[in-house]
Amino acid sequence: MAQTALPPLAYTQLRDPEQERQARALMETLRCLVCQGQSIADSDADMAGEMRALVRQRVAAGESPRAVRDWLIARYGDYVSYDPPVSRATLPLWLAPLLLLAIGVVVARGSFRRRGR
């Protein structure tokens, strides 16, 4: 069996099932900074294990999942969250789908008008 330097809470569930449920739900919304395509709940990267341990430690200490999430965003930036908050930096990410949808509607409408003639 391989030796690991990860904290025990990286792979050990909390004793309180409600706290573990809250921690697990939060872990599903946080991006692994190493693999980037996986949440910290699914990643086997050491960094994800350390983040899982941090989440469990803070939830076990009584912090709300929202406070833990805010702390991780302050520490690692908006990129750590799959649901980044709306800010000046992320506004283009929130507006781009709406803009593309509007452009698609205009193009489709023009196409249908030309076909109808």
pLDDT of residue 4: 59
Identify the CATH assignment for 1-84 out of 1.20.120.1200, 1.10.8.640, 3.90.280.10, 1.10.10.1150. 1.10.8.640
Q: Which of 56, 54, 97 is nearest to 73 (CA)?
A: 54
Domain ranges across the chain? 1-84, 86-117
**pLDDT digits 0-9 by tens, 28-60:** 999 998 987 899 999 888 889 999 999 999 999
pLDDT band at 1 (very low <50, low <70, confident <90, very high): very low
Q: Can you tell me which residue has the tokens 């406070």?
A: 67
Contacts (Cβ under 8 Å, ≥6 apart) of 33? 47, 48, 51, 76, 79, 80
Q: Which of 69, 92, 93 is nearest to 81 (CA)?
A: 69
Q: Which of 42, 19, 22, 40 is nearest to 31 (CA)?
A: 40
**pLDDT digits 0-9 by tens, 73-112:** 999 888 888 877 777 877 887 789 999 999 999 999 988 8
Residue 9: Cβ within 10 Å count: 19
